[in-house]
């Protein structure tokens, strides 16, 4: 094992996969000589050249279309969005091309494409740079969506995504890049369709993902001292949702809380609630509770920004109310 920053774990994943497979390349704004906005591609252009680490113009729809075309011809592009919010400018290419071409071509084309970059609510980045796009892409057929939360699963998920023959969106939280953690020294991958059991418990299941994992664990530290025993699941896979892992947990705890940074209306929690109610309603002893961001553009003001996102104290109060 070795301790590493999350951004370095992502960089290692790209470097190792580019070294193994010459069809893997990176493109996006400032990914080359600048090394990426959060240094995930730092110095890779020195090792692999300016064609395999390709700086593009500020034209998301154009370079996303180019990446999809490259994937159709057998290359394995990794597109970095300087901020995932900007990829709304490439929504047509992602939905109508990347997601649908394997189907509309009758299986004649595979799209081994990775789309990755920073997102989520940072610290006073303003509304347009604080988007959570997971719900936007959730409804698009043909996509796989994952969200990393530790250096270990960040590297493993990115390596799995690069090797997958389907388009994969990897969400990285802007405030987790400097997070340190242990990762194996050997080559490894993390499944793109499995949730992670973070903590076993008996009273209530808390499902979360991305940065909210740490808000949840801060709350759990206090709940443990007060005699509560929550089970915590990091969703990781947002599409497909590993509903069986959640259901297996609810069979034991009979209570479910979902904590997300996504908007409440039409968010990931909404989909989980629908699936649990459709298929596992009889397991529940209480209504499912979702703790989600407010349905407003994220304010620039620091205090207002904090008020829009779920905090640990809200999780503590919710768990105590349900269990009691």
DSSP of 228-286:
--EEEEE--EEETB-HHHHHHHHHHH--EEEEEEEESTT-HHHHHHHHHHHH-GGG-SS
Asked if residue 127 has pLDDT above 90, the reply is: no
Burial (CB < 10 A; 0-12, 13-18, 19+), residue 251, is exposed
Q: What Rg do the C-alpha atoms of the chain give, in angstroms? A: 20
List the single range of 170-179, 186-195, 300-309 with lowest mean pLDDT. 300-309
Q: Are strands 289-293 and 256-263 parallel, antiparallel or unpaired?
A: parallel
CA 29 to the chain's CA centroid? 20
Q: Check whether 150 has a pLDDT greater than 90.
A: yes
Residue labelled with tokens 């071509």 = 105
Whether the predicted pLDDT of 129 surpasses 90: no
Beta bridge partners of 24: 76
What pLDDT sits at residue 206? 98
Q: Which active-site residues does the annotation give?
A: 60, 129
Note the residue count of the chain.
324
Q: Rounded to 10 degrees, what is the CA torsion of 274, 280, 283, 284?
A: 10
Q: Are 190 and 157 in contact (CB under 8 A)?
A: yes
pLDDT digits (tens, 9 = 90+) for 201-248: 999 999 999 999 999 999 999 999 999 999 999 999 999 999 999 999
Domain ranges of the chain: 2-183, 196-323
Is the pLDDT at 151 greater than 90, yes or no?
A: yes
pLDDT computed for residue 122 by the predictor: 87
Alpha carbon distance 68, 94 (integer Å): 8
Tokens of 292: 């989600």
| Rounded CA separation 64/82 (Å) | 13
Instruction: Write down the pLDDT at residue 204.
Output: 98
Spatial CB neighbours of 318, under 8 Å, sequence gap ≥ 6: 257, 289, 291
The answer, yes or no, to whether residue 21 has pLDDT greater than 90, is yes
- Edge-to-edge strands of the sheet including 76-80? 53-55, 24-28, 76-80, 114-119, 168-173, 144-147, 237-239
pTM value surpassing 0.85: yes
Q: Which of 92-96, 120-124, 177-181, 285-289 has the lowest mean pLDDT?
A: 120-124
**Which CATH number is 2-183 given?**
3.40.50.970
**Is the pLDDT at 131 greater than 90, yes or no?**
no
Q: Residue 222: its pLDDT value, please? A: 97
Instruction: Write the pLDDT tens digit of every residue in 158-186.
Output: 999 999 999 999 999 999 999 999 999 99
Does the fold of domain 196-323 match that of domain 2-183? yes
What is d(CA 161, CA 174) in angstroms, rounded to the nearest whole number?
20
9's enclosing H/E stretch is helix 6-20
pLDDT at 125: 87
- The phi-psi region of residue 301 (left if phi > 0; otherwise alpha if psi is between -120 and 50; otherwise beta) is beta
Distance CA 16, CA 115 (A): 18
Cα 132 to the center of its chain, rounded Å: 10
196-323, which class in CATH? alpha beta
Q: What is the mean pLDDT of residues 17-37?
A: 96
* Average of per-residue pLDDT values in the chain: 96
Q: How many CB atoms lie within 10 A of CB 128?
A: 12
């Amino acid at each position: 094992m070795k301790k590493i920053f999350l951004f370095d774990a992502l960089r290692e994943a790209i470097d190792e996969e580019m070294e193994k497979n010459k069809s893997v390349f990176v493109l996006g704004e400032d990914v080359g000589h600048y090394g990426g906005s959060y240094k995930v591609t730092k110095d890779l252009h020195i090792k692999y050249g300016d064609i395999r680490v390709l700086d593009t113009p500020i034209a998301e729809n154009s370079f996303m279309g180019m990446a999809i075309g490259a994937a159709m011809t057998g290359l394995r592009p990794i597109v970095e969005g300087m901020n995932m919010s900007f990829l709304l400018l490439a929504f047509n290419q992602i939905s109508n091309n990347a997601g649908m071409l394997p189907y509309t071509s009758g299986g004649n084309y595979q799209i081994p494409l990775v789309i990755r970059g920073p997102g989520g609510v940072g610290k006073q980045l303003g509304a347009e740079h604080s988007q959570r796009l997971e719900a936007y892409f959730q409804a698009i057929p043909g996509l796989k969506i994952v969200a990393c939360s530790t250096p270990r699963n960040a590297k493993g998920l990115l390596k799995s995504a690069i090797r997958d023959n389907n388009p994969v969106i990897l969400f990285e939280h802007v405030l987790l890049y400097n997070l340190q953690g242990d990762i194996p020294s050997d080559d490894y991958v993390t499944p793109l369709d499995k949730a992670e059991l973070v903590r076993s418990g008996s009273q209530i299941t808390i499902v979360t993902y991305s940065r909210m994992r740490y808000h949840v664990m801060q709350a759990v530290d206090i709940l443990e001292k007060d005699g509560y025993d929550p089970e915590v699941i990091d969703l990781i896979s947002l599409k497909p949702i590993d509903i069986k892992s959640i259901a297996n947990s609810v069979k034991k705890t009979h209570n479910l809380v979902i904590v997300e940074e996504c908007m409440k209306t039409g968010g990931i929690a909404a989909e989980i609630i629908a699936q649990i109610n459709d298929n596992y309603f009889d397991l529940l002893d209480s209504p499912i509770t979702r703790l989600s961001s407010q349905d407003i553009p994220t304010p620039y003001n620091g205090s207002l920004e904090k008020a829009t996102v779920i905090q640990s104290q809200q999780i503590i109060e919710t768990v105590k109310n349900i269990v009691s």
